Structure 1
């Protein structure tokens, strides 16, 4: 056992002990702990901002892009938003103990499925130090212990935020080891987390494609994640042109670097206004890579290559294809999509319902921008990520997604014949 594996074993054992203590905590105690943590974040403003300044200086020295530096930066306003997000999680309904369903058997036994925490959650993330607070808050509110491993570029910020969160939690008597942060920036520590079967119950990666791919490939514990956000918007022939343009432009251009951004636009060959739709995207600053039919609509388009249909650009680029109806649109999505978020735009309710039923995606939308693929927009509060898997949670993962269930059977002395 190497040093990192030894450290992870110790962290896992402490997390297990903390999880056991959390099991006895009331909903009110967990909410009070997070409220106290939010207060401590605000009280620690000077310490946190000083730590973040070190990360920013190191980031500039190491050549981080402006976009990465923006994700990394914390100022007073952003810190207040981080604290407010923790308070919002504290105010959310506690999923633990909720009875999912209840039945009474002919012999009088009462069968209940009751929500319980997952246990010990390992979260591996990059860049954004606010994830340290978000993830810790969601884990604690849902009764889980958490081991956090942030990116090396944010290590000082993460340490300061973690210190404040733990201090707040401890003031109400909950175990400080319920929230632990991996202190080293050595990448080998990630490998140790991925091998910690029996200590960590589930790993949640939150970051770029290379991080998620590594976690999915190497993990010996269950993983809850999505690898790509290759999201489609299908414009049906009965789509309202004004809605189609507004939705397509917003889905692509509101924020191009988020996982809910549209990457491919599919336009029905019988849709009456494809030209203005392409023009609206180009005039919004988007590069359009189209098939032959699309290129005939506007000379500013460029030819799409085969790999474009399988690319998550995370940039102001969109691939566009003309399709011969909903069957062809769904076939394209099945071949090239990533089961994240897919959208149909149409005034034909029957066609919309057909698309909703047949699209094999974690999130399917009708007449709405794919940029709504966000836990906050779903009313779930802060999210831990988006899951495209079929088991456990799908779509935005928030408090309920960090729970499982157990069966509780209540009897009056029944014995099985």
Structure 2
């Protein structure tokens, strides 16, 4: 009489089975040398280029469906993969290969008075889940960074990019497997429904950390509903403060760049605060430059009066404007009586992403950087520089606005944890 051997995992849902396979793959990845991971990533880059036509054809199904559903041109553009964009994604993977491997780095070490040798080493997080919206380039970015840091990754993109993500993950898995790594190092979470994402959020004990990437609604849902630890990549309600000691030409250039260079990203400025001492001179110039760049200003009474004098419409600002991440050519604007008043406004309304001060006064700059509680604070520089590549990290998995484990642009070191290795010679504790 034959019998069937079962395991406790036979009755798991497809999502949890994927998580279980990822956990097994993560155990193999954790001990791989850099060369093995880099060879796999080079194979991924080559596979993306070889299979560009397959990927672009799959993407066309997604973009056609998005247009039929009435998606905006901006949304469709974010979703679109062209041969040029696929080549750029492959180039980004090769850039990751060139980055130092953080795994095994000694964070600190010492010999204790009792002779024990203590080392704190960087180790992979394990299984990383990424929940993100309709940007298929994130699929490969996340996979390559997680692999380099020795993690297995579970990718849960939006249903709007399902065909694109399926094609991309198929190419990545084939390349990884061909290079001798477990194919399950990279998996697309099964299912397109909200239930599959919620199941991933509840996979505590099988998934080590979740990272949401997207709008405020997605991030809030993951933070509030997940039982898996979450690294919150927050929204960007970023501020530019023009101090009374600012060079106004510099302030104007920084403000226009921070708002209008690429308004639909999290490090674009959403509010400008101007010291009253320079408002009379700066506001007319700012309104002309911002309007010329296509920006619509939502201002307080001072900005409205300046707009009326210049013949430029300024919409009255409300509390909703102060808290809004527009991701568009809209900007909230106010005049403040002091640096401290600017800081108070920022601490009340900011999402904790990036704030900038423009000033020639080093004391004002020091006070601003010390009292503003955000992940990044710029002095005489655009908020647009808060970015992993701009910071010299090579790449990023997202920008964290929380304070535990990681804060600011998250590169490879932020995709690791640490463990202590203690070496003795028969030591026993008294």
TM-score range, shorter chain: over 0.9
For structure 1, the 5+ residue unaligned runs are none
Q: How many residues were matched structurally?
A: 416
Q: What SS does the corresponding residue of 1:298 show, helix, strand or coil? A: helix
**How far does residue 306 in structure 1 lie from its aligned partner after superposition?**
2.0
Residue 268 (structure 2) aligns with: 261
User: Aligned equivalents of 1:173 and 1:188: distance in 2?
Assistant: 33
Of 121-130 and 265-274, deviating more is: 265-274
Residue 415 (structure 1) aligns with: 428
User: Aligned equivalents of 1:415 and 1:193: distance in 2?
Assistant: 43
**How far does residue 277 in structure 1 lie from its aligned partner after superposition?**
2.2
User: Aligned equivalents of 2:60 and 2:190: distance in 1?
Assistant: 18
What TM-score results when the alignment is normalised by the length of structure 2? 0.94
RMSD across aligned positions (CA): 1.6
Residue 74 (structure 1) aligns with: 81
**How far does residue 368 in structure 1 lie from its aligned partner after superposition?**
0.8
Q: What are the Cα deviations for residues 284-327 of structure 1, in whole angstroms up to 9, with x where unaligned? A: 21111111122222222221112211111111111111111111
What TM-score results when the alignment is normalised by the length of structure 1? 0.97
Residue 233 (structure 1) aligns with: 240
Residue 175 (structure 2) aligns with: 168
**How far does residue 4 in structure 1 lie from its aligned partner after superposition?**
11
Of 253-262 and 377-386, deviating more is: 377-386
**How far does residue 5 in structure 1 lie from its aligned partner after superposition?**
6.4
Residue 409 (structure 2) aligns with: 396
* Contact preservation (8 Å) 2:234, 2:400: no
Residue 356 (structure 1) aligns with: 369
* Contact preservation (8 Å) 1:236, 1:267: yes
Of 144-153 and 276-285, deviating more is: 276-285
1:368 and 2:381 correspond: yes
Q: 1:403 to 1:207 in 2, by over 3 A?
A: same
Residue 46 (structure 1) aligns with: 53
* Contact preservation (8 Å) 2:58, 2:167: yes
Residue 33 (structure 1) aligns with: 40
1:333 and 2:346 correspond: yes
1:157 and 2:170 correspond: no
Q: What are the Cα deviations for residues 123-156 of structure 1, in whole angstroms up to 9, with x where unaligned? A: 0111111111000000000000000011111111
Residue 99 (structure 1) aligns with: 106
User: Aligned equivalents of 2:307 and 2:70: distance in 1?
Assistant: 38
User: Aligned equivalents of 1:24 and 1:176: distance in 2?
Assistant: 16
* Contact preservation (8 Å) 2:359, 2:365: yes
Counterparts of 1:206-221 in structure 2, within 5 Å, are 206-221=213-228
**How far does residue 45 in structure 1 lie from its aligned partner after superposition?**
1.2
User: Aligned equivalents of 1:114 and 1:209: distance in 2?
Assistant: 34
Q: What are the Cα deviations for residues 367-408 of structure 1, in whole angstroms up to 9, with x where unaligned? A: 111111211111112211111111000011121111111111
Of 268-277 and 241-250, deviating more is: 268-277
Q: 1:5 to 1:244 in 2, by over 3 A?
A: farther
* Contact preservation (8 Å) 2:215, 2:235: no
**How far does residue 168 in structure 1 lie from its aligned partner after superposition?**
1.1
Residue of structure 2 aligned with 1:279, choices 288, 299, 307: 288
Q: What are the Cα deviations for residues 97-143 of structure 1, in whole angstroms up to 9, with x where unaligned? A: 00111122212222221111111011011111111100000000000
1:379 and 2:388 correspond: no
**How far does residue 414 in structure 1 lie from its aligned partner after superposition?**
2.6
Q: What SS does the corresponding residue of 1:204 show, helix, strand or coil? A: strand
Of 223-232 and 142-151, deviating more is: 223-232
Residue of structure 2 aligned with 1:147, choices 145, 154, 172: 154
User: Aligned equivalents of 2:287 and 2:337: distance in 1?
Assistant: 18
Runs of 4+ in 1 over 6 A off after TM superposition: none
Of 246-255 and 348-357, deviating more is: 348-357
1:246 and 2:253 correspond: yes
